[in-house]
């Protein structure tokens, strides 16, 4: 149940919205799906972001800027129609269902970062940045935003910034036993090649201990080398995702499945899958 | 508090609680064509269009929809003047008990406005947020496909 004195605010500027959320018990409202799930009595005010003009996707200087009020559905549509942001578009198209995707916003999903989110793994793999405002504007790499604790502070997410990159090869996996369940974990893999040599790589998993893990040591094995089965076998030694057991699945089960999926996706990219 | 809503192209001033869902506000004010199923955003029985996009009204706080255009299934066709989708849902037996039909019809309506000639896969994807416990979806998908076909052959408006 919500607090009986719940109040709504519809500010027309970001500074005004930020000023409002500095007060205790007042939070931002985008699509509202998460707020409705929790219905915390400690929430006494909702600041709707609909008048902040954050419902945009823009391309500028090889970067895509996606406003916080953009829904997953809008990203999916934009990705298909403009043949771009394919990794993110595909990941978000697998989240929830069409009417729910028309409601979940990018800003809310970044700020709340639920463990089952389809959004964060591709954003980390794509080296995305997030622009926030907590009185002043800051642009932070998404990894730093999560690990530095900034995610837990009071602020407004204005947009995400994603490098345009047509030349990446990527795979994602949203692992569930039933399609409509929340995923147990999400994996995102990205490779960028310079000729036949790997120039950049990112192996990310979310849903693990500490929310996400990027396997930098495994990524480094491939740098400036040809992608091969032998290198994948070497890299797999450094891909050790750590999970917490829950009432459905043990940590050991999740770790084993995640490792198998990582290896399958890497072999698939290398074109050596049996 | 009294708030103005644009429902089916008509301005309605409704008394609401600040924490009310759009589903409850609509049903409490006579829009009972919007069905209450799971209240969890899973079944699609409560689907309405907000600014032409399908949403689960149980997952929308009504206050956030106050400045938007809301459309229920009665906004696209009525008993005496049904939309082609509604006619074909009935004639193909895609409605069965009828509980999921308002949501199904609105999802199909939204799809056909954006994609006049959808494949079976695209129809199934557009209906991914709608559960039916009667027909097994075959007739529903067929009804959407036939509606698209008739609209395209006869150049009927998708409105």
Contacts of A95 in chain B (CB under 8 A): none
Three-class DSSP category at B31: coil
Calculate how close chain B gets to A32, using CA atoms only, in Å.
Answer: 6
Closest alpha carbon to A109 in A137, A88, A85: A88
Strand partners, A163: A63
Residue that has been written with the tokens 């009310």 in this structure: B20
- Contacts of residue B46, Cβ cutoff 8 Å, sequence gap at least 6: B23, B34, B35, B36, B37, B39, B56, B57, B58, B103
Residues B91, B74: Cα–Cα separation, whole Å: 18
Contacts of B19 in chain A (CB under 8 A): 1-3, 6, 39
Contacts of B127 in chain A (CB under 8 A): 98
Instruction: Considering only residues B70 and A165, tell me which one the structure prediction assigns the higher pLDDT.
Output: B70
Q: Are A175 and A255 in contact (CB under 8 A)?
A: no
pLDDT at B158: 64
Please tell me if residue B55 touches chain A, with a CB cutoff of 8 Å: yes
pLDDT at A274: 44
Q: Where are the domains of chain B?
A: 2-73, 84-154
Nearest CA in chain B to A2: B19
Please name the fold of domain B84-154: DNA polymerase; domain 1 (1.10.150)
Q: What is the pLDDT along chain A (274 residues), one digit of tens a residue?
A: 788 889 999 999 999 999 999 999 999 999 999 899 888 889 999 999 999 999 999 999 999 999 999 999 999 999 999 999 999 999 999 999 999 999 999 999 999 888 888 999 999 999 999 999 999 999 999 999 999 999 999 999 999 999 987 789 999 999 998 877 889 999 999 999 999 999 999 999 999 999 999 999 999 999 999 999 999 999 999 999 999 999 889 999 999 999 999 999 999 999 865 4
Three-class DSSP category at A156: strand
pLDDT at A24: 95
The CATH class, in words, for B2-73 is alpha beta
Q: Say whether B18 and A98 touch across the interface (CB within 8 A).
A: no
Q: Give the model confidence (pLDDT) of B91-132 as tens digits.
A: 999 988 999 999 999 999 999 999 999 999 999 999 999 999
Q: What is the edge-to-edge ordering of all strands in the sheet holding B69-71?
A: B10-15, B2-7, B69-71, B47-50, B53-56
pLDDT at A272: 61
Domains and their CATH numbers in chain A: 7-48 (no CATH), 57-163 (3.30.465.10), 168-270 (3.30.390.50)
**Strand A129-133 relative to strand A156-163: parallel, antiparallel, unpaired?**
antiparallel
Is residue B62's pLDDT more than 80?
Answer: yes
- Contacts of residue B12, Cβ cutoff 8 Å, sequence gap at least 6: B4, B5, B6, B29
């Amino acid at each position: 149940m919500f607090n009986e004195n719940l109040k709504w605010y519809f500010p027309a500027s970001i500074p005004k919205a930020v000023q409002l959320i500095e007060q205790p018990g007042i939070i931002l409202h985008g699509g509202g799906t998460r707020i409705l799930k929790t219905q915390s009595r400690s929430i006494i005010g909702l600041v709707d972001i609909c008048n902040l003009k954050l419902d945009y996707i823009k391309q500028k200087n090889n970067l895509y800027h996606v406003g916080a009020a953009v829904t997953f559905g809008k990203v999916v549509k934009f990705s298909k129609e403009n043949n771009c942001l394919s990794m993110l578009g595909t990941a978000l198209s697998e989240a929830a269902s069409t009417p729910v995707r028309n409601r979940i916003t990018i800003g809310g999903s970044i700020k709340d970062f639920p463990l089952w989110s389809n959004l964060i793994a591709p954003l980390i793999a794509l080296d995305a940045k997030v622009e926030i405002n907590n009185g002043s504007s800051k642009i932070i790499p998404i990894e730093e935003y999560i690990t530095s604790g900034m995610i837990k502070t009071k602020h407004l997410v204005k947009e995400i910034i994603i490098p345009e990159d047509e030349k990446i090869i990527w795979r994602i996996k949203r692992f569930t036993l039933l399609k409509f369940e929340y995923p147990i974990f999400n994996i995102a893999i990205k490779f960028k090649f310079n000729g036949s040599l790997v120039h950049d790589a990112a192996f990310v998993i979310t849903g693990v201990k500490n929310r996400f893990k990027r396997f930098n040591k495994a990524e480094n094995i491939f740098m400036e080398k040809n992608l091969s089965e032998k290198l994948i076998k070497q890299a797999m030694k450094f891909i050790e995702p750590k999970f917490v057991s829950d009432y459905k699945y043990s940590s050991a089960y999740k770790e084993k499945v995640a490792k198998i999926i990582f290896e399958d996706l890497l072999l698939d990219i290398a074109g050596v899958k049996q | 508090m009294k708030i103005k809503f644009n429902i089916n192209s008509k301005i309605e001033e409704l008394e609401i609680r600040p924490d009310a869902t759009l589903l409850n506000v609509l049903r409490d004010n006579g829009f009972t064509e919007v069905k209450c199923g799971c209240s969890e955003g899973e079944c699609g029985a409560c689907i309405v269009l907000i600014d032409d996009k399908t949403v689960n009204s149980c997952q929308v706080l009504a206050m956030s929809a106050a400045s938007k255009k809301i459309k229920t299934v009665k906004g696209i066709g009525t008993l005496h003047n049904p939309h082609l989708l509604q006619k074909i849902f009935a004639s193909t037996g895609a409605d069965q008990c009828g509980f999921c039909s308002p949501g199904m019809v609105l999802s199909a309506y939204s799809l056909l406005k954006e994609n006049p000639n959808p494949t079976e896969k695209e129809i199934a994807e557009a209906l991914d947020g709608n559960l039916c416990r009667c027909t097994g979806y075959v007739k529903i998908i067929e009804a959407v496909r036939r509606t698209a076909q008739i609209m395209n052959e006869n150049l009927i408006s998708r409105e």
